Amino acid sequence: MTKKLYLETFGCQMNVLDSELVLGQLRAQGYESVEEREEADVVIYNTCSVREHAEQKVWSRLGEMRDWKKTRPGTVIGVIGCMAERDGKDIFRKFPHVDLLCGPGELDKLAGMVHNLVVTGTEARRHEGTKGRQVALMGANMRRSSTLAAAEDHLELLDLSRSISAEDNLAQAYVRITRGCNKFCTYCVVPYTRGPEVHRPPQNIIDEVKRLSDAGALEVTLLGQTINHYAFKHGDGRVTTFAELLYQIHEAVPGLPRLRFVTSFPRDFTNEALMVMRDCQRICRYLHVPAQSGSDRILKAMNRGYTAQEYYDFVGRAREYMPDVSIASDFIVGFPTETQDDFDQTAEMVRRCRFKNSFIFKYSPRPGTVAIERFEDDVPEETKRRWNNELLAVQQEACVRNNREMVGKVVEVMIEGETKLVSKKAYPASAGGVELGWEKRGGENGSDGASPATVVTQLIGRTRGDQVVAIDAPMGMRGRIVDVEITEAKNLTLFGKLVMSAVAG
């Protein structure tokens, strides 16, 4: 009988991609994914350890499953990803009903582990009083202790195993180019949970992007923790740089309308890479370059390896090459020893750089990091919260100004989804449509069972610069790239109307 699998993902895009890859492997072994945990024979949580809050959600899920497992001892419960790597022993100790742990560096073996547990462990767990076998695979730090090249990295097999099919109807997809991280920012668990930086062979990456594009993907986002550090050393000593890789993908996959990448590190972003972005039309002019702080003293305590001035210089250089480039950033507020003066410098940076958006986080001390050993978490929670809100407000002012400047422009938007609102107005309004107001959508096809082509809905899409736009357009346009005239900017949201179809979806 087909076994049912429930997989829930927490955290970053890397985790989303890992989940997609392990799901593909388990499906190939005959597992079917289900939306409800209650229906599953195998329940897996793909976890994140970057902040405590993300971990707490998983603790609570595992707690909920304690009683559940008593009534269904045959169910296999697994924890994969960063928490499995970091907290392994603690998870088994606190939650003996968990059967399986697998760190991010061992996910190529997950399908085999799950299958073994299902086949061999179920009987044992059925007998009352028998806990069944617990299995664990972690190894990011072992991976770090050797000099690892992608060719000898077994994890490459996971990415190579990706099943890509036109039936999946995937308009957007992620492709990993680099695993792990070598930066060791003092607050961050990633180098410990994901191991050392390993760059994938360029041809494997190009082939994967090509296969995705052939299967109908319209936007591919390349992933890496410090993506601009990509440098693949070939056997003959040649090195493929990040700029070269970007160019090669762009040229090798002419049918792909949008190529993006995240996340960039503010140092070591070469002019060559900026030139490739400027000159290759289908590479989106969008940079996510976390600054973390605007204070040199805090940047040093974070071990970021650059000063605020060097960050400003990078932003200036990027805008020199591409005046229309859209830049996003991350900031941590309340890092140990941070003063009002340090915070004011961060606020000044957000003001001056006019980011498209900023992801703002309150410092969360993480076990195993240098910061938790070296510093006391001495900024009161109340101050962290206040700085978080103040920085958000500064960023919002920038968003409002950026958005106002967009009004009247025609931009290319990729439709990502539909809001729950529909209008019964016939489309287009210029053809004499009568406005009947907005209402909640009824059936799948639209309000009152009308055809998707005649029901106008509010669609949500993204520009090449990653700005979100709400558009009134016919339903059923998800996954299409269209031209949109921006008609209004209401605080943080842009509104637009459809001009014409730019690319057939």
Residues in the site for ligand SAM, rule: CB under 6 A? 12, 50-51, 187-188, 190, 225-226, 263, 290, 292, 330, 332, 361, 363-364, 366
What is the Cα–Cα distance from 81 to 55, expressed in whole angstroms?
Answer: 11
**Nearest distance from residue 387's CB to ligand SAM, in Å?**
13
178: contact with ligand SF4 by CB under 6 A: no
Looking at residues 326 to 365 of the shown chain, list those that interact with ligand SF4 (rule: CB under 6 A). none
- Considering the complex, state which of residue 225 and residue 402 has its C-beta at the smaller distance from ligand SAM: 225
- Shortest CA distance to 104 belongs to which of 7, 182, 208, 179? 179
Q: Report helix angle 242-252 to 271-279, nearest 10.
A: 20
Contact 409, 485 (CB under 8 A): yes
Tokens 């503010």 sit on residue: 266
**Nearest distance from residue 225's CB to ligand SAM, in Å?**
4
**Nearest distance from residue 290's CB to ligand SF4, in Å?**
7
277: contact with ligand SF4 by CB under 6 A: no
How far lies 452's CA from each of 46, 93, 413, 441, 474, in Å? 36, 53, 20, 12, 6
Residue ranges in 100-187 assigned as alpha helix (H): 110-116, 122-126, 140-145, 156-160
Query: Which residue in 19, 49, 226, 403 binds ligand SF4 (CB under 6 A)?
Result: 226
Torsion of CA 197, 201, 206, 212, to 10 degrees: -60
**Nearest distance from residue 107's CB to ligand SF4, in Å?**
18
- Considering the complex, state which of residue 130 and residue 359 has its C-beta at the smaller distance from ligand SAM: 359
Site mask, ligand SF4, residues 77-116, x = CB under 6 A? ----------------------------------------
Q: Pairing between strand 410-423 and 456-463?
A: antiparallel
Question: Which residue type does 269 have?
Answer: F
**Nearest distance from residue 359's CB to ligand SF4, in Å?**
12
213: contact with ligand SF4 by CB under 6 A: no
**Nearest distance from residue 367's CB to ligand SF4, in Å?**
15
Q: Which does 240 bind (CB under 5 to 8 A by kind): ligand SF4, ligand SAM, none?
A: none
190: contact with ligand SF4 by CB under 6 A: yes
Q: Which does 31 bind (CB under 5 to 8 A by kind): ligand SAM, ligand SF4, none?
A: none
Q: Pairing between strand 239-241 and 198-199?
A: unpaired
Contact 256, 218 (CB under 8 A): yes
Residues at the site binding ligand SF4, with contacts judged by CB under 6 A: 181, 183-185, 188, 190-191, 225-226
